[in-house]
Amino acid sequence: MKPVKMYTTAQCPYCMRAKQLLAQKGVSAVEEIRIDTDPTQRDHMMQITGRRTVPQIFIGETHVGGFDDLNALNQAGKLDTLLAD
C-alpha cells in the first residue's frame, strides 16, 4: 500500500472523516502534518497544493485533495487502485 500523507489541524472534522475512510480501506498509518502548530508547513502546503483548507491528502506522490475529493474517488471505485502499490 502506498504511503499516505495528510496536512491537518487539531479540530478538523473533515480530517477525522478522511482518516476514518482510509482506515476502512486498510490504511494503518497516515503521516499527519499539523499546519496549526507549524506555520512553515501551512505555507509549504499552500505552495504545493494551491489550496488553503485541510485536509490536503497525498497518496504516494499523488495529490488527492480534501475529504470530498477522497470520498468522490472512493464512490467512483478508484480509491483502492490508487492506494495499491
Q: What is the pLDDT of residue 26?
A: 94
pLDDT tens for residues 63-85? 999 999 999 999 999 999 999 97
The more confident residue out of 1 and 22 is 22
Q: Give me the residue spans of the domains in the chain.
A: 4-83
Burial 30-63 (b: 16+ CB within 10 A, else e): beebbbeeeeeebeebeeebeeeebbbbbbeeee
Place of cell 478508484: 78
pLDDT tens for residues 8-59? 999 999 999 999 999 999 999 999 999 999 999 999 999 999 999 999 999 9
Q: Hey, which CATH number is domain 4-83, 3.40.30.10, 3.40.50.150, 3.20.20.70, 3.40.50.920?
A: 3.40.30.10
